[in-house]
Amino acid sequence: MRKFYRAIIWAVMLAILPGCLLAQGVRITGRVISVQDGQPLPGVNIQVKGTTNGVSSDANGNYSINVPGSAATLLATSIGLISQEIAVGNRTTINIQMQESINELTQVVVTGYNTTQRKDISSSIASVSPDKFKDIPVASFDQALQGQAAGVQVSQSSGTPGGGLMVRIRGNTSISASNRPLFIVDGVPVENGALGGREFGGQTDNALALFNPNDIESIDVLKDASAKAIYGSRAANGVVLITTKRGKANQKTKFTADVQQGMIDIIRRPDLLNATELLDLQREAVINAGQDPDKLGLIRGVTDGQNTDWINSVLRKGVYQQYQLSTQGGNDKTQFYLSGSYRNEQGIQLNSQFTRYTGQFKFDHKATDKLSFGMNLTLSQVKNKRVKSDNFLDGVYSGALKSLPYYSPYNEQGRLYGPNDPEYGGFPNFNPVGQAVLPRFETYTIKMLVGLYGEYEILQNLRFRSKISADYNNITEDQFEPSTTAIGGFLPSVGGQGYGVFSSANVSKIVNTNTLNYSYQLAEKHHFSGTAGFELQQQFERRGSLQGRLFPSDDFTYIRSAGIVDQGDSYKNRNGLVSLIGEVRYDYDEKYLATITSRYDGSSRFGQNRRFGLFPSASVAWRISSEPFMQQFRFLNDLKLRTSFGFTGNEQIGDYQFLGTWASATYSGATGVGPAALANPNLQWERTREANIGLDASFFSGRLTFTVDAYDNLTNKLLFAQPIPQTTGFSTVQGNIGEVSNRGVELTISSVNINKAVRWSTDFNISHNQNKVISLATDQPVFRGYSGNGVSNTNVILPGQPLGTFWGLKFLGVDPATGDAIYDDKNGDGRITPDDGQVIGNAQAKLYGGLTNRVSWKGFDVSVFLQFSYGNSILNFTNTTLVNTGADIQSNQSRQALKRWQKEGDITSVPRYVFQDTYNNYLSSRFLEDGSFLRLKNVSVGYNLPKKWIERFKITNTRIYASATNLWTLTNYSGPDPEVSTLDGSTAAQGIDFFTLPQVKTVFVGLTIGF
C-alpha cells in the first residue's frame, strides 16, 4: 500500500513539474478568438517555435506560456484554422485572431464542464445554431430543437400557448421515471417540464417557456455515454446544454432591436355535421333501434331550426407580438451582455393568452492575468391565461366539438346561456363559449436564474473555477368558476354557487460547482487535458392550495368570500445530490483521440444501501484523413471514426419513495395514521448501458459534411411498482425491475450546393429508433391510458413490445349484409369480450427528422424548413365520440359518419348507426390511424438593407423579414393534427388524440436593427 501511495505522489509531481519548470523566462498570456464571430477558440495549440514548449487554449480561449525571451516566436495551429506565427517582442499580452478554413471542424462545442472544437470530439454531440430557428417564433428552448438535430424528437402536444412539449433523445428509457432530457442553461440544471400544479385535460405548462430563446448563443445535445456520463445519474435521457449570449472582447458596444408582429390561427378545423345532417343521422339511428325519433324531439324543420358552428364560436384569430432590445460589448478586461424582451401570444381559444417579460445580464471581468470572475442573471415573469381544453367533459374545445348545432351560445337578449337554462333541454350540459370567457384560470410565474463564478490560474495551464448558481421559481395559480359555468353552477358537490381554487408553489435549486482544469502539451504532438471537480446540489419544493365554494354571488371571486372553505393541501419536498466528476482527454497529433469520463453520484432519492453509484465512460477516435495514405484524396478534408461505451443513470422520480411512510387514515369513523408505503433500502437509479459508433466526414473544403451514428442502449433496474402478495397489506412496493432497449441509426448531412453570387445550403437529418420492453416483473400486460368500451385500456406495457403500444380489439371490417362491425375473436370462444383484446399498433415513429434549405442572393435570403415523421400510429380517440355508432344524441358527429353503412351490400369501414347500441363502437383498430406526416414547419423571407443606405444613420445592419409556421401538412390522418398528444409527456400512453387542440399556424413580419 505504501508503494501505491508513493507512486501516486510521483505521478502528481511529474504532472505538475513541467508547469513549474516553465515558470522561468517571460510569461505570455492572451486569448484566441475567431475572426468570423469573435468567439473564443478552445483547444488551439500555442507553441514556442523551434522548441517542445507548448500549451493549448482553455475553454474560454485563454492561454499562458513561458518563452525564453523577446526574440521568441509563437506558433498557433489547429485543424480547420489557418496557422499563424507571432513574434513576441516586448509584449506580455498577445491576443490571437484565427481564420477558419473549414467551419464545421472549428465549431466550438460545449461538452459538459468544458468547451472544445468539433475536430477534437470523440463522442456523439449534435449542435444547433440559433441561425436555424431565429425566424421561427419558438416560445421555449426545447421547441427550438424541433426537427433540427438527429436523434432528437420534439412534439408539441397541443396548440395551447406556453404549453408542454414532448422531448426524447434516442427513445424512451423509462416507464415510471421521467424521460425528458436534462437541460443545462449556462452550467445550471434548470427545471423543465411542468411547474404548475394544474393540468387541464392532460395538458400542462412548460417551465422552459420562461426563457427567451433569442438569448441563445448555442445548443449542444449530448447523446452518447462518453458525452453524457459527466452528468452521471441524471443523464440517461440525454443532456441539452444551452449557452446564452455574452459580451465579446475587443468589440465596440452595439445595440440590437428586434420587432415581430403577426397573426395566429388554427392549422385545420375539424369537419363536423350541420344541424340538418346531424338530425337525419340521429333519426336513422333511432329508427334502426326500433324507436320513434319524433318522441325524442328529433323533428325535421323544428329541431334543426338553428345551425351553430361551435368551433368558430370558441376559436379566434390571435395576435402575436414580440419585442427585444439587447446590447453587448467589451474589451480585453471586461465584457457584458444585456437584453430585455416582451412576448404576447393570444391563444386561438377565447380568453387564452401567454404573456412573458424577460431580462438577462451577463458580466465577465479579467482582474489580473490569473484571476477572472463574472456573473449571469436571468429574470422572467409570465402570465398564462388558460382555459379548460382537451379531454375535459366541460372543456372549451372538446365542448365545441360535441355541442349540438341546434343550440346557440346566446339568447335573444345577447346573454350567454347557462348550464341550467331550460332552453338547453338538459343537453348539452354547458355552454362552451361561456366556459371559455366566464371562468378565471390564471397562472403567474416568476423565475430567477443567477450565477456567480471565479476562476484562478494556480500554475501555468492549471485553473481552478468555482461557481454557485440558483434557479428560483414561484408559481401562483388562481381559478374561479362562476355559477354560470358547468362546474360552478352544475356539479352537486359544489352547490351551484361558484367554485374557486388558489394555489402557490416555490421550486428552487442551488448548485455549487468546483473544478480544476489542466492542459499540457508534450513533444509537440502529445496533448493532454483533464478536469476534476466536486458538485453539490440541493432542491426545495413547497406547495399549498385551498378550495372554496358557495360564494355569495359571481361578483365575489376570491377564496376569502367563499361560504365554505373545506378542502386544501400543502406539502414540502427536499432532495440533494453530491458528486465527484473527472475527465481526461488525450490526442496524439490530432490524429488519435481518447477520452475517459466518470462521475460518482450520491442521491437522497434512493435507499441507504444504494445511495452512491459510479457512472464511467470511454471513447476513442481515429482521424483517418490525417494518415499518409489518405493524402492522395485531396477532396477529403476530414474523416474521423469514433466509438464510445459507458453507463448513465436516471434518478428523476419522486422524493422519499425508498422510505416506509405513514399517512392519515380513517377506520370505523375514527381518524388516525396508518402505513402508506413499504420501505425499500435497496431502491436505486435506473442504469443505461450505452454503446455508440460514429463516422464524421468533410469534403470539398467543407462544402459537404455528414455524420452517421449507430447506437445500442439497454436500460435495466427500471423504477417500477413491483407487485407483491396482497396478504402483506400492500399490492406493490417501489423497486428496480425490468429492462428497456433502444437501438437506432442517425444521419446528418450538410451541404453548400452553390457558393457564388447565389448561396444555397441544405441541412438534412433523419433518425430511426427501435424501442422495446425487454422484461418486467411478469409477462402479464400492464394497462395504461384511457378506459375503452369493450376493452380495458387504450395502451399496454408488454415485454417484446415498444412503449406506447396500443391495445384493443382487432377490427376486421363491416359486414356488408348487416352493417355490424366484425372483430377478431382472438380466443375463439364465439363471443367478443375484453379477453379478445390484443396489440393493434404503436405510437413509435420508424423515421423522423427535418430538412432545411437556405438560399441567399445579395441582400435577400429565403429559408424553407420541413419536418417529418413516418411509421407511427395515432389513436383517434375523439372518434369514439364523433363517429359514435351508438348515436349519442347529446353529441355532434364527424363528417366521416356520412360514410356509414345504410343498406345491405354497402361496402364501408363505418358500421351502421343504432341508437344506444354500443357493440359497433368498441375500442378497436377502427380508431387507429397512420400518424405519418410531412409538415412545412417554417418559411421565411428576409432582406438586408445595403449598408450605404443606413450608414448615414449610424446603423450597422437592418433586416426586414416575414415568416410563417405550420402552413401546410401532408398526412393521411383524418383528425386536425397528427402531431398532438392528449396526455402531454406520457410515456406509456402516448399518441392519443382525445379532443386535443390542434397546433397553430403563425404568420408575422419582423424588423431587426443593429446600431
Q: Tell me the DSSP string of 499-558.
A: EEEEEEEEEEEEEEEEEEEEEEEETTTEEEEEEEEEEEEEEEEEEEEEEEE--S-TT--S
Give the pLDDT confidence score for residue 428 in this predicted structure. 47
Mean pLDDT of all residues in 931-951: 94
Share of the chain above pLDDT 90, in %: 63
Nearest C-alpha neighbor of 746 from the set 26, 152, 88, 37: 152
Task: Kindly report the number of other CB atoms within 10 A of residue 235's CB atom.
Answer: 29
Give the pLDDT confidence score for residue 16 in this predicted structure. 41
- In terms of C-beta density within 10 A (0-12 exposed, 13-18 middle, 19 or more buried), how is residue 493 classed? exposed
Name 763's bridge partners: 750, 852
3-state helix, strand, coil in the chain (%, to 5): 15, 50, 40
Contact in structure between 28 and 74 (CB atoms under 8 Å): yes
Nearest 5 degrees, angle CA 804-CA 810-CA 811?
A: 120
| Amino acid identity, position 241 | L
| Amino acid identity, position 815 | D
Give the pLDDT confidence score for residue 101 in this predicted structure. 58
Nearest C-alpha neighbor of 237 from the set 872, 797, 742, 745: 742
Contact in structure between 78 and 45 (CB atoms under 8 Å): yes
Which grid cell is 228? 453524457
Give the pLDDT confidence score for residue 162 in this predicted structure. 85
Reported as a pLDDT band with limits 50, 70 and 90, residue 926 is very high
User: Rounded mean pLDDT of the chain?
Assistant: 89
In 838-973, which ranges are E strands? 838-842, 847-857, 860-870, 873-876, 928-930, 933-944, 957-971
- In terms of C-beta density within 10 A (0-12 exposed, 13-18 middle, 19 or more buried), how is residue 787 classed? exposed
| Amino acid identity, position 575 | N
Measured CA to CA, the distance from residue 768 to residue 861 in angstroms comes to 32
Contact in structure between 547 and 500 (CB atoms under 8 Å): yes
Mean pLDDT of all residues in 654-669: 83
pLDDT in tens, 272-313: 999 999 999 999 999 999 999 999 989 999 999 999 999 999
Give the pLDDT confidence score for residue 819 in this predicted structure. 96
pLDDT in tens, 101-136: 555 666 778 888 888 888 888 999 999 988 888 888
Give the pLDDT confidence score for residue 412 in this predicted structure. 85
Contact in structure between 416 and 431 (CB atoms under 8 Å): yes
Task: Kindly report the number of other CB atoms within 10 A of residue 310's CB atom.
Answer: 25
pLDDT in tens, 862-907: 999 999 999 999 999 999 999 999 866 789 999 999 999 999 999 9
For 402, list phi and psi in degrees, rounded to 5.
-90, -25
Measured CA to CA, the distance from residue 814 to residue 901 in angstroms comes to 8
Give the pLDDT confidence score for residue 23 in this predicted structure. 41
Compute CA 743 distance to the chain's CA centroid, rounded to the nearest angstrom. Answer: 21
DSSP collapsed to 3 states, 585-602? EEEECCCEEEEEEEEEEE
Residue whose cell numbers read 450597422? 956
Measured CA to CA, the distance from residue 357 to residue 448 in angstroms comes to 12
Contact in structure between 794 and 992 (CB atoms under 8 Å): yes
Mean pLDDT of all residues in 584-607: 93
**What 3-state class would DSSP assign to 243?**
strand
Give the pLDDT confidence score for residue 425 in this predicted structure. 44
Reported as a pLDDT band with limits 50, 70 and 90, residue 64 is confident
Nearest C-alpha neighbor of 517 from the set 535, 509, 529, 503: 529
Query: At a CB cut-off of 8 Å and minimum separation 6, what does 478 contact?
Result: 440, 441, 442, 443, 444, 501, 502
Mean pLDDT of all residues in 87-93: 86
pLDDT in tens, 311-325: 999 999 999 999 999
**What 3-state class would DSSP assign to 904?**
coil
Q: Which is more confidently placed, 164 or 502? A: 502
Give the pLDDT confidence score for residue 422 in this predicted structure. 64
Give the pLDDT confidence score for residue 438 in this predicted structure. 93
User: Which letter does DSSP use for residue 629 in this model?
Assistant: G
Mean pLDDT of all residues in 524-531: 89
For 649, list phi and psi in degrees, rounded to 5.
-135, 175
- In terms of C-beta density within 10 A (0-12 exposed, 13-18 middle, 19 or more buried), how is residue 950 classed? middle
Measured CA to CA, the distance from residue 310 to residue 401 in angstroms comes to 7
Instruction: Reply yes or no on whether the pLDDT at 685 is more than 50.
Output: yes
The DSSP result for 346-382, as a single string, is E-SBTT-EEEEEEEEEEEEEE-SSSEEEEEEEEEEEE
Give the pLDDT confidence score for residue 15 in this predicted structure. 41
The DSSP result for 423-439, as a single string, is GGTT-SSS-HHHHHHSS
pLDDT in tens, 412-469: 888 888 776 765 544 445 789 999 999 999 999 999 999 999 999 998 889 999 999 9
Query: At a CB cut-off of 8 Å and minimum separation 6, what does 167 contact?
Result: 142, 145, 152, 153, 154, 180, 181, 240
Mean pLDDT of all residues in 711-726: 88
Measured CA to CA, the distance from residue 566 to residue 838 in angstroms comes to 45
Mean pLDDT of all residues in 715-731: 83
Measured CA to CA, the distance from residue 911 to residue 918 in angstroms comes to 11
Name 822's bridge partners: 813
Predicted TM-score (pTM) of the model is 0.89
Nearest C-alpha neighbor of 233 from the set 735, 769, 719: 719
pLDDT in tens, 840-873: 999 999 999 999 999 999 999 999 999 999 999 9
| Consecutive H or E run containing 20 | helix 2-21
Mean pLDDT of all residues in 185-202: 85
Cis peptide bond prior to 428, omega within 30° of 0: yes
Instruction: Reply yes or no on whether the pLDDT at 545 is more than 80.
Output: yes
Whole-number Cα distances in Å, 170 to 176, 262, 767, 772, 802? 17, 35, 9, 12, 13
Half-sphere exposure of 55 (CA within 13 A, CB side): 27
Measured CA to CA, the distance from residue 97 to residue 542 in angstroms comes to 50
Whole-number Cα distances in Å, 126 to 151, 231, 376, 746, 861? 9, 17, 25, 11, 25
Measured CA to CA, the distance from residue 397 to residue 633 in angstroms comes to 61
Instruction: Reply yes or no on whether the pLDDT at 635 is more than 80.
Output: yes
Give the pLDDT confidence score for residue 429 in this predicted structure. 57
Give the pLDDT confidence score for residue 11 in this predicted structure. 41
Give the pLDDT confidence score for residue 176 in this predicted structure. 86
Compute CA 912 distance to the chain's CA centroid, rounded to the nearest angstrom. Answer: 43
Nearest C-alpha neighbor of 216 from the set 248, 237, 241: 241
pLDDT in tens, 762-814: 999 999 999 999 998 888 888 888 877 777 789 999 999 999 999 999 999 99
Nearest C-alpha neighbor of 694 from the set 802, 805, 619: 619
Instruction: Reply yes or no on whether the pLDDT at 541 is more than 60.
Output: yes
Q: Which is more confidently placed, 321 or 14? A: 321
Measured CA to CA, the distance from residue 126 to residue 123 in angstroms comes to 10
Give the pLDDT confidence score for residue 669 in this predicted structure. 75
Residue whose cell numbers read 453520484? 601
